[in-house]
């Protein structure tokens, strides 16, 4: 932690009287960061603004806001607060992150601050890189995140990127820094938690300083990505103009550059929502471009549609919420058919609109997609499997609804639930062991 303190003192271009914003949740990481900034405060006569977000998904959230506010009041730190009132995105964590960073930017602009500090640390970087390797991403996505991001009018800094979680907790103990604990961080339902609890400790047994290796890996990928980006930027004005990709010109590119062009477009289209995009989406787009069909389209996360019309490809936001899709199920998602699937803590129902699963029997993360040719499900209570298409016929589902009907699969592609219609052999009764409940409504 002292290296983080030295970084703040010696490598950050503070000017006397500067105002800085710190994103503080109240957890051990962010409170350690706030303490570090407090130590630097007097040396540069800084004004520190604490930006706290109440995500409004746990009953303890309001108490945590009071806790952080009291700490700021007792330590001469300005306190700013925002409560997220509602969610409506395909990906709860993604929407929360987007709203959070939009709010942070508002606070930065309000106080004309030069820096926004976040408490991301070395273990966070390991988890992020591993998660993206497992689920697929862009070259930049595989790098995780950088310690410094230039945002134009201000800079995002992550001074704890070289510090482990263990070092942060030792620092909190040494300086008797109070913090709150988010119980949801212990639940295996969330992908990051499983990496945090099981994978990262195994890596640290091999090398306690493995976080430095991941940081070097991250920097190397960013350097390569920046170089390739420069090459792609030279050709983009020639093949991608006013949100239209020239397919004829695209097909003349080397495959590596062609795929990078797709990733480049996706990175610019999704920006802060990049976690929604995997290599699977890039392959879908490449397949759309190279298909023999003159007019076709596919659906992407956040209701974005890639549309092919003869020799042009465009990306548009779709209001109808339909088509081909596959989205990771984290907490809550709004489906293209207008329905919703949500991870809930309890349910008294036991019909086909509720599914109970045991995490040890399915491969996480779960995904929700529309049907594919040949899809089969091992229906609960029946021997063998049954085609999804036959179930639609048996249940008299209209043709126009079948293509949008959600199918829940695990990371191996096994169908674990056909919401509203059939449970699979993986479904548990209320009396059996389960640790995740899904609700379709």
Among 128, 129, 104, smallest CA distance to 115 is for 104
pLDDT at residue number 89: 46
Number of other residues whose CB lies within 10 A of the CB of residue 242: 5
pLDDT at residue number 321: 47
pLDDT at residue number 190: 74
pLDDT at residue number 132: 87
The mean per-residue pLDDT over the stretch 269-293 comes to 80
Number of other residues whose CB lies within 10 A of the CB of residue 310: 9
Name every residue whose Cβ is closer than 8 Å to that of residue 346 and which is 6 or more positions away in sequence. Answer: 437
pLDDT at residue number 318: 64
* Buried-exposed string 400-425: b where 16+ CB fall within 10 A, e elsewhere: eeeebbbbbbbeeebbbbbbbbbbbe
User: pLDDT tens, 289-331?
Assistant: 998 888 888 878 777 888 999 999 998 876 554 457 788 887 7
Residue with the bigger pLDDT between 119 and 276: it is 119
Name every residue whose Cβ is closer than 8 Å to that of residue 318 and which is 6 or more positions away in sequence. Answer: 299, 303, 304, 305
pLDDT at residue number 283: 86
Task: Give the model's confidence band at 87: pLDDT under 50 very low, under 70 low, under 90 confident, else very high.
Answer: low
CB 380 within 8 A of CB 427: yes
Name every residue whose Cβ is closer than 8 Å to that of residue 173 and which is 6 or more positions away in sequence. Answer: none
CB 142 within 8 A of CB 221: yes
The mean per-residue pLDDT over the stretch 208-215 comes to 94
Q: Is the pLDDT of residue 171 over 90?
A: yes
Q: How far is CA 27 from the centre of its chain?
A: 19
pLDDT at residue number 90: 46
Q: Looking at 158-162, 173-177, 228-232, 278-282, which range is the least confident one?
A: 278-282
The mean per-residue pLDDT over the stretch 143-161 comes to 92
The mean per-residue pLDDT over the stretch 38-63 comes to 89
Q: Is the pLDDT of residue 130 over 50?
A: yes
DSSP assignment, residue 46?
P
Q: Looking at 19-28, 128-137, 242-251, which range is the least confident one?
A: 128-137
Q: Looking at 279-283, 287-291, 299-303, 425-429, which range is the least confident one?
A: 299-303
The mean per-residue pLDDT over the stretch 78-98 comes to 73
Q: Looking at 104-113, 127-136, 295-304, which range is the least confident one?
A: 295-304
pLDDT at residue number 88: 57
Helices (H), 75-119: 92-110
In sign, the C-alpha dihedral spanning 236, 238, 243, 246 is negative
pLDDT at residue number 94: 66
* Buried-exposed string 124-160: b where 16+ CB fall within 10 A, e elsewhere: bbbbbbbbbeebebbbbbbbbbbbeeeeeebbbbbbb
User: pLDDT tens, 367-400?
Assistant: 999 999 899 999 999 988 999 999 999 999 988 7
Mean pLDDT estimate for the chain = 89
Q: Looking at 29-38, 250-259, 276-285, 401-410, which range is the least confident one?
A: 276-285
d(CA 316, CA 304): 6
Q: Is the pLDDT of residue 247 over 90?
A: yes
pLDDT at residue number 123: 94
pLDDT at residue number 319: 55
Q: Looking at 1-15, 73-87, 88-102, 144-158, which range is the least confident one?
A: 88-102
């Amino acid at each position: 932690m002292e290296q983080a303190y030295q970084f703040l003192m010696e490598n950050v271009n503070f000017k006397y009287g500067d105002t800085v914003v710190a994103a503080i949740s109240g957890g051990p990481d962010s409170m350690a960061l706030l303490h570090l900034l407090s130590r630097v405060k007097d040396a540069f006569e800084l004004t520190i603004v604490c930006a706290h977000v109440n995500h409004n998904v746990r009953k303890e959230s309001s108490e945590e806001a009071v806790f952080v506010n009291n700490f700021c009041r007792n330590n001469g730190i300005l306190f700013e607060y925002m409560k997220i009132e509602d969610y409506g995105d395909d990906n709860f964590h993604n929407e929360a992150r987007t709203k959070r960073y939009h709010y942070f930017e508002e606070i930065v602009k309000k106080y004309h601050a030069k820096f926004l500090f976040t408490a991301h640390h070395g273990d966070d970087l390991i988890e992020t890189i591993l998660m993206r390797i497992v689920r697929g991403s862009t070259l930049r996505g595989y790098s995780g995140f950088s310690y410094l991001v230039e945002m134009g009018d201000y800079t995002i800094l992550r001074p704890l990127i070289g510090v482990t979680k263990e070092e942060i907790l030792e620092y909190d103990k040494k300086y008797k820094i109070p913090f709150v604990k988010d119980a949801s961080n212990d639940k295996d339902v969330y992908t990051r938690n499983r990496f945090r609890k099981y994978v990262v400790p195994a890596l640290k047994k091999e090398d306690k300083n493995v976080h430095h290796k991941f940081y070097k890996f991250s920097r190397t990928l960013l350097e390569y990505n920046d170089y390739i980006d420069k090459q792609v930027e030279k050709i983009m004005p020639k093949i991608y103009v006013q949100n239209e990709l020239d397919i004829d010109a695209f097909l003349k590119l080397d495959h590596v550059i062609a795929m990078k062009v797709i990733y480049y477009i996706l990175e610019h289209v999704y920006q802060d929502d990049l976690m929604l995009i995997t290599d699977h989406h890039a392959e879908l787009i490449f397949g759309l471009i190279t298909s023999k069909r003159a007019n076709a389209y596919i659906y992407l996360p956040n209701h974005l549609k890639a549309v092919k019309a003869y020799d042009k490809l465009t990306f548009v936001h779709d209001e109808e919420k339909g088509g081909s899709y596959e989205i990771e199920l984290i907490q809550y998602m709004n489906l293209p058919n207008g329905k919703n699937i949500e991870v809930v803590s309890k349910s008294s129902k036991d019909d086909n609109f509720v599914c109970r699963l045991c995490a040890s029997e399915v491969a996480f993360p779960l995904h929700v997609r529309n049907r594919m040719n040949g899809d089969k499900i091992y229906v609960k209570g029946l021997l063998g499997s049954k085609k999804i298409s036959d179930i639609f016929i048996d249940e008299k589902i209209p043709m126009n609804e079948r293509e949008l009907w959600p199918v829940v699969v695990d990371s191996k592609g096994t169908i674990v639930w056909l919401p509203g219609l059939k449970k699979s052999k993986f479904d548990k009764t209320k009396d059996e062991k389960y640790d995740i409940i899904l609700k379709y409504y």
